[in-house]
Structure 1
Amino acid sequence: MTLTPRRRIRLAIATAAALVAGTIAAVTLPNAGAENAAVAQAACGSGSPHATVTGSSGAYTTKEGSTTVYSGSDYRAAVQAGVDTISSGQRVAVMASGSIGANTITIGSGKTFEGCGTINVGNRSGRGAIEAINTTNVYIPYLKMTGNPYFGLRFSGTTGLRLGDIDLTLSGGLGIRFDRDAAWNYEVRMDDIYVSGAGSHAVETWNIDGLDVYKVVARDVGESGLLIQNSRNVWVGLVDGSNVGAGTGYATLRFANNNGQLANGSYNTNVWVDKVVSRGGGRGVFCVSQSGGAVIRSVDLASNGNNAILIENCYNLSIESGTVNGGGEVRVAARSEFPNTRDVWITLTVNNTSVRESPCGDNVNWYLSGNGSRNVC
């Protein structure tokens, strides 16, 4: 993977800060593969955390150093006690597994939360099982979550939030959510996100200025894999979806609700995606509702049940390379309530499905190969 200068600077700063704080045991380049991810997860809780949560069902102990701050049967209380006892710049390692029920763990500014055990969660309406609201420099390097949450993780008003190796193996709910009707977020980084079984989106973001996402893998989720809304200055390495949004209009990667529109109203390029892989499910790539300002460098889409690609009321979008094989059509479209689609460049090999532009967009440029039928302006 080639990092832009901006990403190299961010990676260097984040790595240096983590090493100084003693929050990571080793440095692993993003997207280095499953083996490195496994090594990283094995490092969870290593070194000398400032607080630890240990034990098993019915008997949990939370310690800060050698001082016991909680002992009892309530797993959620044990975890929250660990979070609350540390200060900014310190780390809590939750080694124990357990269930928090329909409750919430709240993380404050400057704290590092390592979920080394498996945290099973319930559904608390409108809330996240884990939340960081109006915080700075919260870091969750490791997390394993199961259950059916309303939101697995919920954020708003954050600055310098970082999510590392996150495994959400769910039986419903929504994986990671940044709230719509709340304060903006700045300089958010996600490293390696895996979500399966969510009834809604794997990852849904709103209102982020400065978003780096190295990898999102979505499996068998009800709506989008990665849904980015009303955000700017975004870079995404890989979105990989299988059976995402089946029977819906959602997509493995979806831009919506003015995503990529800059503060001055323009759509100058500020959203970059290295690669999208999509198999089955609903749509592969969807840009809609006055979004744009984006470059997708490569796509690998096959057997999508809805449009393989739909570009609808989207402005300044390039897809630079890739393949579409079977599934729904590749389409440029527009709804009458928004300005027409404009400034689109599509370079693709399309086989065993169709390409259609209807209605005609403004300055739509097609560079097509493959056996797919074409009905473009």
Structure 2
Amino acid sequence: MRSGVASSARRRRLAAVAAGALTAAMLATVATTAGATEPRAGADRSARAAQEAQKGQAAPAAAACGEGSYQAEAVKSGSTWTARRGGGTVYTGGSMRDAMQAAIGSLTPNRSYKERVVVRGSGSISAGTRVSLPSNTAIDVCGTIDVTGSGSGDQAPIYSRGTTNVEVGHLTVTGRPLYGIFMRNVSNVVLGRIDMRLSGGLGIRIDNHGDRSSRSRNIRIDDVYVSGTSNHGVETYGVDGLTIGTVTARDVGYSGLLLNDTINATVGKVDADNTATGTGYAAFRMANRNGRIGGGYPTNIRVGEVIARGGGRGVFCVSESGGAVIDRVTLTNTGNNAILIENCYNVTIASQGGTVSGGGEVRLAARSEFPGNRDITLQNLTLSNTSLRESPCGTNITYRNLTLNNTSRNTC
């Protein structure tokens, strides 16, 4: 009889635990829905993300900067930086960069698991130096890095090369860096909340140009605000497996988001004001065989929404890129083409709807050095006070459910 009572009690306790877990999951879902959903990172997180999507569950909301456990820290008090690991001090002095690097250097050598550094305080770092993140390192910068002076090459306040399992939870950068974040030949990278209000340089670049036979893989970027660059806001080159939540670009010199030779990418939103003014770049640009897998262009680049106001081009696909679907577009008074599709293959624009208002024309074009456009669909678009032109003619070009208000059309 006692064993039956005990079993019943155990069942009640398990039910209570399960109910608590369900309540916590529901609260996490509400919190995440109110903010930005976190995409995947790495093969293991990719599988979890797919499972969560199938169940209709959201990933947990991101923690505030500096919350949670960490193994080392760099803290500013007055004008002095101190780096600590446990109860030991590994650096004291006036350099933010040296304190950050010392804290990173104090982590467990040759570790096979991720350890975390928290930076508390604001300071300056020279454009000619970098803070290097080795493999299995996470960093949270709870303050602002102001980049001063000049430099050359691939210097960046946050830098990582030939590494895996690297995470930047929070980062705020001002000044004129060569790059705000520079990563080369990396895998399993997470960039969380990134804020770059710059006066030049390039925001984030992730590429594989140390060894172009091997792509950078499994890159997740949650939320980026970038302004004032003289170059691109966010750029990838040679990446396989990219998940981006939102890129917000303001007064960026070149593209807000540029994907080069990148495959298997999902982007939630690109929101651009005054991006690429006076240039051939665009709020969102795909180039250099972006989306090409093997010799073909299966759909593997998926973009939820592109918003462009003013600036240069809105959406630009060029140089044998494709395999892309953009669900929604809102393109207003762009200074150059609202949409330019040039030598691209299997591209659908506005699968769910969109508007083009004023600005440059919507154009399907081609250069002679590449095969012409093929399998392009423009649909569910309202075009107002602009023009739609296809020249030269492509192959299997579809125009469906277009509304033209004070808009000329010259298509094949």
- Letter of the structure 1 residue corresponding to residue 390 of structure 2: E
**What CA RMSD, in Å, does the superposition of the two structures yield over aligned residues?**
2.3
Map 1:281-296 to 2 at 5 A: 281-296=311-326
- Letter of the structure 1 residue corresponding to residue 140 of structure 2: E
Q: In the alignment, what sits opposite 1:114?
A: 140
- Letter of the structure 1 residue corresponding to residue 90 of structure 2: V
| TM-score, structure 2 normalization | 0.82
Shift of 1:11: 6.0
Percent identity between the two aligned chains: 50
Alpha-carbon distance in structure 2 between the residues aligned to 1:220 and 1:150? 17
Shift of 1:6: 8.5
Q: In the alignment, what sits opposite 1:193?
A: 224
Q: In the alignment, what sits opposite 2:343?
A: 313
Decide which of 91, 97, 101 is 1:76's aligned counterpart. Answer: 97
SS of the aligned residue for 1:100 comes to: strand
Alpha-carbon distance in structure 2 between the residues aligned to 1:177 and 1:298? 25
Matched, 1:370 2:395: no
- Letter of the structure 1 residue corresponding to residue 249 of structure 2: A
Shift of 1:323: 0.6
SS of the aligned residue for 1:265 comes to: coil
Q: In the alignment, what sits opposite 1:132?
A: 160
How big is each residue's C-alpha offset from its partner over 1:110-145, in whole Å with a ceiling of 9 and x where there is no partner? 110101110112443121221111111101111011
Decide which of 190, 196, 200 is 1:162's aligned counterpart. Answer: 190
SS of the aligned residue for 1:221 comes to: coil
Alpha-carbon distance in structure 2 between the residues aligned to 1:288 and 1:244? 18
Q: In the alignment, what sits opposite 2:360?
A: 328
Q: Which runs of 5+ in 2 are unaligned?
A: 1-32, 52-58
Q: In the alignment, what sits opposite 1:349?
A: 382
Deviating above 4 A after TM superposition, structure 1's stretches of 4 or more consecutive aligned residues are 5-9
Alpha-carbon distance in structure 2 between the residues aligned to 1:344 and 1:74? 54
For the pair shown, the structure with the greater C-alpha radius of gyration is 2
- Letter of the structure 2 residue corresponding to residue 192 of structure 1: D
Q: In the alignment, what sits opposite 1:54?
A: 75
Matched-pair contact (CA < 8 Å) for 2:291–2:297: yes
Matched-pair contact (CA < 8 Å) for 2:310–2:333: yes
Decide which of 178, 187, 194 is 1:150's aligned counterpart. Answer: 178
Segment drifting more, 315-324 vs 253-262: 315-324
How big is each residue's C-alpha offset from its partner over 1:158-213, in whole Å with a ceiling of 9 and x where there is no partner? 11001000001111000001236323201100000110111110001000001111
| TM-score, structure 1 normalization | 0.89
Alpha-carbon distance in structure 2 between the residues aligned to 1:56 and 1:146? 21
Alpha-carbon distance in structure 1 between the residues aligned to 2:328 and 2:274? 20
Q: Which runs of 5+ in 1 are unaligned?
A: 17-25, 29-39
- Letter of the structure 2 residue corresponding to residue 332 of structure 1: L
Matched, 1:270 2:300: yes
Alpha-carbon distance in structure 2 between the residues aligned to 1:355 and 1:9? 44
- Letter of the structure 1 residue corresponding to residue 371 of structure 2: P
Matched, 1:91 2:116: yes
